[in-house]
Amino acid sequence: MILVDVTRQLSPTARSTIRRGSARARTERSDLHAVLDAGLICHLGLVVDGSPRVLPTGYGRRGDTLYVHGSTGARSLREAAAGAEVCVTVTHLDGIVYARSLFHHSVNYRSAVIHGRARGVVDADEKREALRVITEQLAPGSWAHARLPTRRELAATAVLALDLAEAAVKIRTGGPNDDAEDVAAGTAWSGVLPLERRWGTPQPAPDLPPDVEVPAHVRDRRWPA
Amino acid sequence: MILVDVTRQLSPTARSTIRRGSARARTERSDLHAVLDAGLICHLGLVVDGSPRVLPTGYGRRGDTLYVHGSTGARSLREAAAGAEVCVTVTHLDGIVYARSLFHHSVNYRSAVIHGRARGVVDADEKREALRVITEQLAPGSWAHARLPTRRELAATAVLALDLAEAAVKIRTGGPNDDAEDVAAGTAWSGVLPLERRWGTPQPAPDLPPDVEVPAHVRDRRWPA
C-alpha cells in the first residue's frame, strides 16, 4: 500500500500532467524515486539550434536532485549547463502485452519524465558527491573500490543538476484490456510475456593478473541494484 | 567484417557527426539497421512550446523509413505529424565497464540517434503496413495471430514516418581503457559485467480458457527478436 503524503506528491504542471492513459499516471514522489532508482541510464532531451536532441547518459539521484553525467567537450551539455531547459526520461520495459486484438497490444513499463532547467555543477565538493551518486547508480560499490578521480579528471567531467520538482510517472502492469467481443470470440492468445534482465558472468580485463578475484560488489550484484 | 558500400553509408551532417568518442562512431547503414532492429522501444524527442520532451514509444523499420507509434490524442504527436523536427533514439545497454579508476568507468552500449522532420502517415494502406512493422518489432507473429485493426481502430492510431537519412550510430564494446599507471598499481578490479535480457514465462490472461495453449510465436520467442 502506498501511503499518501500530500507534501511529497508530485506537483503537476501543464506539461507534466498526463493526458493519455491517465489511469497509468502516478502522483507519489515515492513512485518517482523508485522508477529512477531502478534505472541505469536516462535519455536526456535538449533543444540545440531549435531542434530536439535525445542522448543516452548516466545519472544518479540524491534526494530530490537528479545528477546527469557528461563530458565538458559536448556542446549540448554545455548549453544545458548554462540553464537551458532539459527533459530527462527513464524507462523500464517490463513485458509485452499480447491482446486478442492488435489494437490492444501494449507493453508493461515504468517511466519517469522530468522537466526543468539544468544547472551545471561547478562546486568541487558537489561535483564529487554528484559523481559518487552517479557511480553508485551505475556501478554500486565502485566508489569505495576503484581509484578516486583526480582534480584534473574532475575538471574534465561535466555534471548537470536537475531539480525533481516537475515530473510525470507512468506505470502499466497487468494483462491485456481486451474488448468483450474479442474475449467471447476467443480467436487469439492473450497474456503477458515478461522481459527480464540479469547480470551475466563478470569478464576480467585481459591485463588483470589471473589471481585477482572478482570483488563482491561485482560478483554478487543483483538486478536492478 | 563489415563490407564498405559507400552508397549505403550514413550521410553525416553537423548534428549527426559524432564529436565525442568518435572511435565509437559507426558509419555503415547496416549498423544503423542492426541497432534499430534489435530494439523494442525508442525515445522520441520533440520540442513543445520551446521545451524539449522525451517520450518512450514503440517503433518499427521498413527499409530506410522508421515508423513511430502513438495516439491521435497526444498533442506532441500531432505537432510532430505536422512536420516538426524530431529526434528518435534507440539505446541498448550491454554491460557495465568497471575500470581501475572511476574516471574510466564506462558502459558497453549500442545507440542510434536519428534526426529529421516527421510525416504523419494518413494513407490507410501505408498506415496498416506501418502498424504491421511496428507490431512485428514489438510482438513478432502477432500480426498473423491476433485480430487485425478495424477502420475505427486504425483512425484512432497515429503513426509518424521518419526518413533514416540523418543518423548517428555509436557502439562501445570490450573492456576498460585503463591508464598505464593504474594497471601497474593494480589497486582495483577491472573488467565488464554483461547485462543480459531474456523473456520470462508467458502469463496467460485470467479470462483465457485454460485449454488455450501458448502459441509458438510467444512461447519460442528469443531475445532480441
pLDDT in tens, B198-207: 999 999 999 9
Please give the Cα distance from A208 to B175 (Å, whole number). 11
Question: Per the domain annotation, does A206 fall within a domain?
Answer: yes
Cβ distance B194 to A196 less than 8 Å, yes or no, reads no
Domain count, chain B: 1
pLDDT at A11: 55
When pLDDT is cut at 50, 70 and 90, the band that residue B72 belongs to is low
Best of A54, A94, A218 to substitute, by most chain B Cβ atoms within 10 angstroms, is A54
- The count of residues in chain B is 225
When pLDDT is cut at 50, 70 and 90, the band that residue B70 belongs to is confident
Question: Per the domain annotation, does B114 fall within a domain?
Answer: yes
Question: Per the domain annotation, does B1 fall within a domain?
Answer: no
Question: Per the domain annotation, does A111 fall within a domain?
Answer: yes
Q: Which spans in A61-113 are helix H?
A: 75-81
ipTM for the predicted complex: 0.90
Cβ distance A198 to B196 less than 8 Å, yes or no, reads yes
Q: Name the nearest CA neighbour of B41 among A139, A188, A110.
A: A110
Question: Per the domain annotation, does A1 fall within a domain?
Answer: no
Cβ distance A105 to B52 less than 8 Å, yes or no, reads no
Question: How do the pLDDT tens digits run along chain A, 225 residues long?
Answer: 222 222 344 555 666 665 555 557 777 899 999 999 999 999 999 999 899 999 999 999 999 999 998 766 667 777 777 888 999 999 999 999 999 999 999 999 999 999 999 999 999 999 999 999 999 999 999 999 999 999 999 998 899 999 999 999 999 999 999 999 999 999 899 999 999 999 999 999 999 999 999 999 999 999 875
Question: Per the domain annotation, does B224 fall within a domain?
Answer: no
Question: Per the domain annotation, does B87 fall within a domain?
Answer: yes
Question: Per the domain annotation, does A155 fall within a domain?
Answer: yes
Chain A residues within an 8 Å CB radius of B219: none
Chain B nearest-CA residue for A212:
B189
CATH of the domain at A151: 2.30.110.10
pLDDT at B5: 28
Given a cut of 90, whether residue B141 has pLDDT beyond it is yes
When pLDDT is cut at 50, 70 and 90, the band that residue B11 belongs to is low
Please give the Cα distance from B163 to A210 (Å, whole number). 49
Those residues whose C-beta lies under 8 Å from the C-beta of residue A125, and which sit 6 or more positions away, are none
pLDDT at B156: 87
Given a cut of 60, whether residue B4 has pLDDT beyond it is no
Print the domain residue range for A64. Answer: 6-219
Please give the Cα distance from B213 to B205 (Å, whole number). 12
